[in-house]
Structure 1
Amino acid sequence: MNHKVHETKVDLKSYQMHKLNELLVFVSGFNEFYKEKFQGIQLPITSRHDLASLPFVTKKELADDQNMYLPYGRNHSYPEASYIRYHQTSGTTGRPLKVLDTTESWNWWSDCWVEVLESAGVTMNDRAYLAFSFGPFIGFWAAHEAIQKLGGMAIPGGSMSSEERLNSMLDNAATVLLCTPSYALHLAEVAEKLGVDLKNSSIEKIITAGEPGGSVPSTRAQIESLWGAKLYDHVGMTEMGAYGYSCNEQKGLHVNEAQFIVEVINSETLEHVAPGERGELVLTNLGRLGYPMIRYCTGDAVVYDPTPCACGNKFLFLPGGIVGRADDMVIIRGVNIYPSSIEAIVREFDAIKEFRIVYYTEHEMDQLKLQIEGPEEVVITLAKLLRNRIGLRIEVEQVETDSLPRFTMKARRVMDNRSIKVTV
């Protein structure tokens, strides 16, 4: 499947409108969720301006629909017998969304992942180790398929301990590691305890997903230093697809505009934001007919830059990747706090093995403290850096080594003990 529109003479915007109208005609006839949602919508859509006539889709809306129309909801365009893959979202609040894929939609998923792999320079000569549990969370399932499409070897690491995974990837001379940024750091910690020299191992590339850390310069630098390998980031969603990936420039993420239409909006006004302005990422997937997402509000906070990246990829660029989650932001003493901003500072200290952010209420005022596993001498330095960078005095508490949880999948480093929890 050749969907590299930026390498052809096809005008990208015209191509997107063509694919979008095909999708809209299809869902208007065969998808009960969108049949109801798009009543009165005039087709065809001929421009980005017309796109604004389509209503947004939210995760809550999908969840409510799924609760009302058990078990899978109405946003599955074909009879249940047509679906071959089951996945569910990994969110920590509410019931997870159930998402099904047909053979065609799953093939589209893996094609999107081929883009991720090729941007990282993965070829048929690579052996890719997937340090992933292979449960119902989508994770690296599609990556497993894509590696085989490229002709490379996919080595699954499910149902193994961290020590077993390290031994397996090294015994099999794996050249690529796929995991979350947190797990790459944890594996390095395990390797250090075992006396394993990762810097001189066969691993040459690391492809991360599931957390924003792969695009956080300090986190990326720490992982690359520990492994002696180059890190490439990737971003996707169970309900959307694998939509973004980094390149050799390592300055952010490209959105695969051949398969996704990108919008960045102000969550309050619902208007598009200007380049360089933070907004919420809204996506439309163009090739997943079995589970279409049209103007889906992802909840991811991004900044976009229309200037082409120095790598030559003309697709829209998101400097810094995902810079936060709309539902992750909290206000502490008048200051907007994103956990990813704190992580960026913490990861500048190689001596800090793990950390946790704790929100709590004291004297009816919301407070924040940071727990770290690290030497006492970094506590004062880190506290000063946090004050200077974030503009807020944050207590830094040293805790015992190995007392904080480690994560094989998405990390949960925030503990919210506030008496009244309000997010923006």
Structure 2
Amino acid sequence: MRESNSETFPASGSRDRLRQWQLDRLNALLTVAQKRPFYRDRLQNLSLPLKSLEQLQQIPLLTKADLIPSSQPKAAGIFDLPMSHYTRMHQTSGTRGWPLPVLDTQDDWRWWIRCWHYVLDVAKVTEDDIAMMAFSFGPFIGFWTANDAMIDRGATCVPLGGMSSESRLKMIQDHGCTVLCCTPTYALHLVSTAKSLGLDLTKNRVSRIIVAGEPGGSLPAVRNRIEQGWGAKLIDHAGASELGAWGFGSPDGRGLHVIESEFIAEVLDFSGDDPGGSQVAEGQIGELVLTNLGRYGGPAIRYRTGDIVRAFRDHDQPSTFLWLEGGVIGRADDMIVIRGVNIFPSSIESIIREISESSEYRIIVEQVDEMDQIRLELEGTAEQAAFVSQLLRDRLALRVEVAAVAEGSLPRFEAKSRRLVDQRSSQG
């Protein structure tokens, strides 16, 4: 049985030792990447070995646009080894009409699992646990690596792909599951389903819920609703198919730690004229840029994640790894600018979860009389809609029309939720 994450750099290690650890691994990765087709031109002027981590900034940024296939489903250029080297294939959701296949070698997959053990350490998972994996087990990477990390640790895994929410709740009860893995949205949906069935989720054996796939696990309102509904502790996690499992929740639930033993993190501001961005000061909001250090079959060097974060190196957490207060605040591509106000969908969700643990909602952005407007559809009563509208005005300084709609009329999502509908392009 694998009891801890002792094989890797300890999350409580000193920052000086960590920086040297990162530099050594970065140079090893760059030495390999420099000979690979995708990075040959990008790294041709780089003199190795690098003497400091700051020299990483000499390398061009990598964006999602660099990875997206232009005409047909095929793996991104960073996965440029012969196909016989890869043993795993997954894919991201479709962008520009095509999904993005991602590939992993056996060593890459073991690296994913090593990253996931940081999450399982916080969740205190042992061989005595029974883990319920509530996701579809389709081509999206989802909790595939979590499933294998649980097995690596010695826990028992119960896969629930293709089952209804009612059936999953019954399986949780029948098998005495102690850990649940799902998205924050689905954890709340199961709370709502259980209530409709007359079930009290606080009476089952689930004591920890590991969430991933979307922001929410580090938002106080969302986290509190999930924990109260289940009577369990919530542990947040963050990752990306094209990048790896890069973050684990802080024990107090107030944010995420970047796994800096396996990733080099930069937080940059891209609002200025410099396309390369500028470093933000401690505690200021910026976009997270990551370099993975252990995925040799698909190295992502200086990848713009699109995740908006507020980062601290000087913090009161037990781990010395970079801490992101509130986890992922939002997505750069989801940010809405309405009448000069920057709005993140996660800010709206935090307000909604203060009044309802599981009400579904939809954010609609449209253009009215050449002005961008935002309105909200909320499953609930007219009184709840009015209250949310008032909170949005008080907290975000923005007038938002909130319409109450019938329960069950809005779409549900088991995986990443897609609640933002931007109609401006179709109106233009």
Give the gaps of 5 or more residues in structure 1.
none
Aligned to 2:348, the other structure's residue is in SS state: helix
Q: Residue 382 of structure 2 contacts residue 403 of structure 2 at CA under 8 Å; is this kept in 1?
A: no
Give the fraction of aligned pairs with identical amino acids, expressed as a percent: 47
CA contact (8 A) 1:223 1:231 kept: yes
Deviations 1:322-374 (CA, angstroms, capped at 9, x unpaired): 00100001211221111111111111002762111111222221111111111
Matched, 1:4 2:4: no
Aligned to 2:407: 401
Whether 1:34 aligns to 2:39 is yes
Q: 1:78 offset after TM fit, Å?
A: 2.5
The question of whether the paired residues in 1 share the 8 Å contact of 2:71 and 2:98 is answered with no
| Equivalent position amino acid for 1:367 in 2 | Q
**What displacement does 1:77 show?**
4.4
Aligned twin of 1:280: 287
Correspondence for 1:139? 142
Aligned to 1:295: 302
In the alignment, which residue of structure 1 is the partner of 2:312? 305
Residue 163 of structure 2, aligned match among 154, 160, 173: 160
Q: Is the 8 A contact 1:88 1:138 kept in 2?
A: yes
Query: Does residue 1:76 correspond to 2:79, yes or no?
Result: yes
Cα 1:44/1:94, change in 2 over 3 Å: farther
- Alignment CA distance shift 1:304-1:407 (3 Å): same
After superposition, residues 380-391 of structure 1 pair within 5 angstroms as: 380-391=386-397
C-alpha change, 1:343 and 1:70, in structure 2 (3 Å) is: closer
The residue that corresponds to 2:256 in the other structure is 253
CA-to-aligned-CA distance 1:240-278 (integer Å, 9 cap, x gap): 110101132111000111000000001233111111111
Residue 300 of structure 1: CA displacement? 0.7
Q: Deviations over 1:274-301 (max 9, x none)?
A: 1111111000000110111110011111
- Would the alpha carbon gap of residues 89 and 400 (structure 1) be closer, same or farther in structure 2, given more than 3 Å must change? same
**Equivalent of residue 337 in structure 1, options 336, 339, 343:** 343
- Partner SS for 2:234: strand
Conserved 8 A contact 1:351-1:374: no
- How many angstroms apart in 1 are the aligned matches of 2:201 and 2:177? 12
Q: 1:130 to 1:421 in 2, by over 3 A?
A: farther
* Alignment partner of 2:327 out of 317, 321, 331: 321
Query: What is the rounded CA distance, in whole Å, between the counterparts of 1:373 and 1:182 in structure 2?
Result: 15
Aligned twin of 1:216: 219
Query: Contact 2:179/2:206 (CA < 8 Å) preserved in 1?
Result: yes
Give the letter for the 1:229 counterpart: A
* 1:177 maps to 2:180: yes
Q: Deviations over 1:87-116 (max 9, x none)?
A: 111255442221100000001001111111
SS at match of 2:363: strand
Deviation at 1:308, TM superposition (A): 3.6
Count of aligned pairs between the two proteins: 418
Instruction: Return the alpha-carbon distance in structure 1 between the equivalents of residues 23 and 175 of structure 2.
Output: 46
Is there any run of 5+ residues in structure 2 with no aligned partner, and where? 1-5
For the 8 Å contact 1:308–1:315, the answer to whether it is kept is no
TM-score by length of 2: 0.94
Which moves more between the two structures, 390-399 or 260-269? Answer: 260-269
In structure 2, give the amino acid aligned to 1:364.
Answer: E
1:111 to 1:77, Cα distance in 2 relative to 1, 3 A: same
2:191 matched to which residue of 1? 188
Deviation, 1:388, is 0.9
Alignment pair present for 1:264 and 2:267: yes
Shift of 1:76: 2.1
What CA distance in whole angstroms lies between the structure 2 residues aligned with 1:76 and 1:69?
Answer: 16
Q: Per the alignment, do residues 233 and 191 of structure 1 end up closer, same or farther by CA in structure 2, a change over 3 Å counting?
A: same
For the residue of structure 2 that corresponds to 1:38, the secondary structure is coil
The question of whether the paired residues in 2 share the 8 Å contact of 1:309 and 1:317 is answered with no
The answer as to whether partners of 1:16 and 1:258 remain within 8 angstroms in 2 is yes
Do the aligned partners of 1:77 and 1:289 also contact (CA within 8 Å) in 2? no
CA contact (8 A) 2:76 2:102 kept: no
CA-based RMSD: 1.8
Alpha-carbon offset, residue 225 of structure 1? 1.0
**Contact in 2 for aligned 1:84/1:100 (Cα 8 Å):** yes
Kept in 1, the 8 Å contact 2:222–2:353? The answer is: yes
TM-score by length of 1: 0.95
* Structure 2: distance between partners of 1:130 and 1:274: 39
Residue 199 of structure 1 aligns to a residue whose secondary structure is: helix
Amino acid at match of 2:60: P
Distance in 1 (alpha carbons) for counterparts of 2:400 and 2:161: 38
The CA distance in 1 between the partners of 2:85 and 2:327, in whole Å, is 35
1:320 Cα offset (Å): 0.5
